[in-house]
Amino acid sequence: MLRKAKRVVVKVGSQLLAGEDGLNREFIDSLTRQIASLRGKGVEVVLVSSGAVLAGIKALKLRRKPFSLSEKQALSAVGQPYLMAEYRESFKRFNLKVGQVLLTAEDLRSKERFHNAKNTFNALFKLGVIPVVNENDTLSTEEIRIGDNDNLSAHVSVLVDADLLVILTTSPGVFDKNPENNPDAKLIPVIEDVREILESCDFSTQTRFGTGGMATKIEAAAKAAKKGIPVIIAGGREERVLERILNGERLGTLVMPCKKLKAKGYRILYLMKPKGKLFIDQGAEEALVKGEKSLLSRGVKRCEGEFKKGDAVEVFSLNGKLVGKGIVRCSKEELSTSKLCIHRDDFVLLREDI
Ligand code: GLU
């Protein structure tokens, strides 16, 4: 499965990129050398890289922390060009060129913008350029932020139809407990049931491994996996880690791909922000669970939030169980007069495994 991968998304976090005094050139050089080697074998690579804020802090020689959101936005404006300059220099050794792609959640939520972004990536692949992706932090307000690059990398994998997502971190993989203070901690080689792993392992103390911590990485991995993309969470500092993974060596933790969500289902479930909540009666719930019927407005007993036609909402049973997510065909105000609330094509059921 991994050896056959022809298009791979690689995510690196700030912790791996942090050097003594600025960005870690040695790490960047090893990363670009590996990517160049994959390219030489005909593998297309997208690099999702953090490090803009970090580079900004170093460039301005700042020490004070924490920074406010607007300060971080400004710091990323300063740091992003430094980050790109490092990659440009480093890839130049292999005669490879980089292209910067900055995305916000908004670019991925809207179908049109999603397709625009897809076309841009395809054009970059055709030109033989390595896309280097980051969140457009400078312009990302809370409302349109993805917030962490683990989730961004999952979305980018879906966007470019990747065969594999590799999330590189400072840990050699996912452990059942924090390996730093538990000598008996075990590496989990394969995750099939993400929910079970999240419930049974303690990741609260494994959060030193990046912005979102290990739980965020696993949750992000699960999203790509639901779209049928295998994900490997592995140690970025291990010797030739990318080349070895693509040679089929078992490194890190593999999050197995599972049921394939359609593009629309992925967008509804993971990209669209729910604008409201609908509470539905038992008859409506049964119809939705059977997957045969749309949600009619008369099945909606109560609602919260403000939504208009085309917005995403969460659908709950009357006892508060989340049934699924969908796109409404009417606004909150039109609910009493419109027959159809959610068409079945626009509804994703949250079964146990999702
Ligand atoms: N986009 C942020 C940066 O480049 C990092 C976000 C993250 O680490 O997840 O600094």
Structural tokens at position 37: 């080697």
Contact 264, 115 (CB under 8 A): no
Protein residue closest via CA to atom 2 of ligand 1 = 50
Contact 13, 50 (CB under 8 A): yes
Q: What fold is seen in the domain 273-349?
A: 2.30.130
Protein residue closest via CA to atom 5 of ligand 1 = 50
pLDDT, position 205: 60
Structural tokens at position 343: 């068409």
Q: 3-class secondary structure for 161-222?
A: CCCEEEEEECCCCCECCCCCCCCCCCECCEECCHHHHHHHCCCCCCHHHCCCHHHHHHHHHH
Q: Which amino acid is located at 162 in the chain? A: A
Binding site members for ATP: 11, 211-217
Residue 134 CB coordination number (10 Å) = 23
pLDDT, position 212: 62
Q: Which amino acid is located at 10 in the chain? A: V
Q: How far is the CA of 135 from the centre of ligand 1 (A)?
A: 7
DSSP 320: S
Structural tokens at position 77: 């404006």
Given the DSSP bridges, would you call strands 190-191 and 130-135 parallel, antiparallel or unpaired? unpaired
Structural tokens at position 155: 């979305």
Contact 347, 295 (CB under 8 A): yes
Q: How far is the CA of 149 from the centre of ligand 1 (A)?
A: 6
| Alpha-carbon torsion (72, 76, 79, 84), positive or negative | positive
Q: How far is the CA of 72 from the centre of ligand 1 (A)?
A: 10
pLDDT, position 354: 45
Equal fold, 7-260 vs 273-349? no
For ligand 1, mutation pick of 49, 84, 134 (most atoms within 8 Å of CB): 134
pLDDT, position 263: 87
For ligand 1, mutation pick of 58, 76, 140, 214 (most atoms within 8 Å of CB): 76
Q: Which residues does a 6 A CB cutoff place in the pocket of ligand 1?
A: 13-14, 50-54, 76, 134-135, 137, 148-149, 211
pLDDT, position 26: 96
> Quick one: which atom of ligand 1 is closest to the CA of 75?
10
Give the rounded distance of the alpha carbon of 277 from its chain centre. Answer: 24
Q: Which amino acid is located at 238 in the chain? A: E
Contact 345, 327 (CB under 8 A): no
Q: 3-class secondary structure for 227-278?
A: CCCCEEEEECCCCCHHHHHHCCCCCCEEECCCCCCCHHHHHHHHHCCEEEEE
Q: For the chain, first and last CA: distance in Å?
A: 23
Q: How far is the CA of 61 from the centre of ligand 1 (A)?
A: 18
Give the length of the chain: 354
- Digit-by-digit pLDDT tens for the chain (354 residues) are 777 899 999 999 999 999 887 899 999 999 999 999 999 999 999 999 999 999 999 999 998 778 888 999 999 999 999 999 999 999 999 999 999 999 999 899 888 999 999 999 999 999 999 999 999 988 877 777 888 999 999 999 999 999 999 999 999 999 988 888 888 889 999 999 888 888 888 776 654 444 568 889 999 999 999 999 999 999 999 999 999 999 999 999 999 998 778 889 999 999 999 999 999 999 999 989 887 789 999 999 999 999 999 999 999 999 999 999 999 999 999 998 999 999 999 999 886 444
Domain extents for the chain? 7-260, 273-349
Tell me the C-alpha to C-alpha distance, in Å, between residue 277 and each of 136, 196, 313, 317, 323: 29, 27, 6, 10, 11
For ligand 1, mutation pick of 87, 148, 156 (most atoms within 8 Å of CB): 148
Phi/psi at 4 (nearest 5 deg)?
-85, -5
Q: How far is the CA of 26 from the centre of ligand 1 (A)?
A: 20
> Quick one: which atom of ligand 1 is closest to the CA of 83?
4
pLDDT, position 211: 55
The DSSP bridge partners found for residue 190 are 254
> Quick one: which atom of ligand 1 is closest to the CA of 13?
8
Q: How far is the CA of 51 from the centre of ligand 1 (A)?
A: 6
CA distance 127 to 322: 45
The residues, any chain, with a CB within 8 Å of residue 95's CB and separated by 6 or more, are none
> Quick one: which atom of ligand 1 is closest to the CA of 14?
8
Binding site members for substrate: 50, 137, 149
Domain at 7-260, CATH homologous superfamily: Acetylglutamate kinase-like (3.40.1160.10)
The DSSP bridge partners found for residue 11 are 48, 167
Q: Which amino acid is located at 166 in the chain? A: V
> Quick one: which atom of ligand 1 is closest to the CA of 49?
4
> Quick one: which atom of ligand 1 is closest to the CA of 80?
4
> Quick one: which atom of ligand 1 is closest to the CA of 54?
10
For ligand 1, mutation pick of 11, 12, 14 (most atoms within 8 Å of CB): 14
